[in-house]
Structures are given as C-alpha cells and as structure tokens.
C-alpha cells in the first residue's frame, strides 16, 4: 500500500520541511519490509477564491483529482477522532491487509476541508483538541506514519 500525505499549501524550505523529509525517509525504509510501497508528500496550491466555502470546494476538487478510486482517505480535522499510536498503526495495517492500494492522509487549507469531501473519509483524525499550524501537523503526521510502521514491525522506536 502506498502512503501519501496530501497537503493544501506549501511548506517552505527550512527545519520543518527537513523534519518531515527525515520521517518520510525513515517510514520508507521500515515500510518496504512490511508491504508498504512509496511514502510521499504532495502539495496543492491554496485556492484564491474570495469566499471560504468556494475555497474549500476548489481545494476539494483539486484533492479528488489527485486520487484514484478505491483509495483510503484519512482526513486531519479538528472534528476528528483522537487515536493512540497503536490504534493508528492497527488501522494502517488493516487497510494494507485488506488490499488497499493507496492511503491518502489529507491536510486541508487554512479554511479546513469541504464537508462533502470529509464524508468520503475512512477516518477523520485529530491530534488533539488544540489548534495546530499546518506545518506542525505535517511533522506530527509524518512522525506518526513512521511510528505506525515501527509498531507494525516490532521495532523498539515506540515504547508504550
């Protein structure tokens, strides 16, 4: 199963991007042994529409244009569910074992995600009740993907 982080907006070069890249490379290395294909980050431009709902709709259309039918969608949203790292890893393992070819973790733009798009998700996830900048969410997500793969492999990185 290929794993993708799809984010609306661009992460500038600097320590945040370097940290995301480091966790992605680690996830690729561990994931190969577990039947996970490529792990990647894709960025989409933010909509320039004047109205929030129109921006969300345009960004949703751009997100859907990237994804093939049958892929697993996981949305990061403040209304989502909090999971333990073990449960997160279990979801990833289950999707892989049930034949999902791709899993897309989607981080919306500044206005959030379109309601109709969110309904397509297999899971809507939050990292806490706090509001986080998109840059930090990317880092946290990349780390959790890596952590999930280490949990699935029995690697000692995760200590519960």
Instruction: Give the residue ranges of the annotated binding site for S-adenosyl-L-methionine.
Output: 76, 108, 127-132
Within a 10 A sphere around the Cβ of 40, how many other Cβ atoms?
13
Token duo for residue 59:
């960004």
Alpha helices (H) in 9-159, listed in sequence order: 15-32, 52-66, 85-97, 115-118, 134-153
Q: Please report, in range form, the residues annotated as the binding site.
A: 76, 108, 127-132
To the nearest 10°, the Cα dihedral for 97, 99, 102, 108? -70
């Amino acid at each position: 199963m290929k794993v993708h982080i799809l984010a609306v907006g661009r992460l500038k070069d600097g320590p945040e991007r370097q940290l995301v890249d480091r966790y992605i490379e680690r996830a690729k290395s561990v994931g190969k042994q577990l039947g996970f294909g490529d792990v990647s980050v894709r960025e989409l431009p933010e909509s320039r529409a004047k109205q929030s709902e129109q921006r969300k709709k345009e960004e949703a259309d751009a997100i859907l244009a990237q994804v093939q039918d049958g892929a697993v969608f996981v949305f990061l949203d403040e209304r989502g569910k909090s999971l333990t790292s073990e449960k997160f890893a279990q979801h990833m393992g289950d999707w892989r074992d049930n034949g999902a070819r791709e899993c897309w973790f989607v981080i919306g733009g500044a206005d959030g995600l379109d309601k109709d798009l969110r309904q397509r998700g297999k899971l809507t996830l939050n990292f806490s009740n706090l509001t986080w900048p998109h840059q930090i969410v990317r880092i946290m997500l990349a780390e959790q993907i890596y952590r999930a793969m280490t949990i699935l492999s029995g690697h000692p990185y995760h200590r519960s």
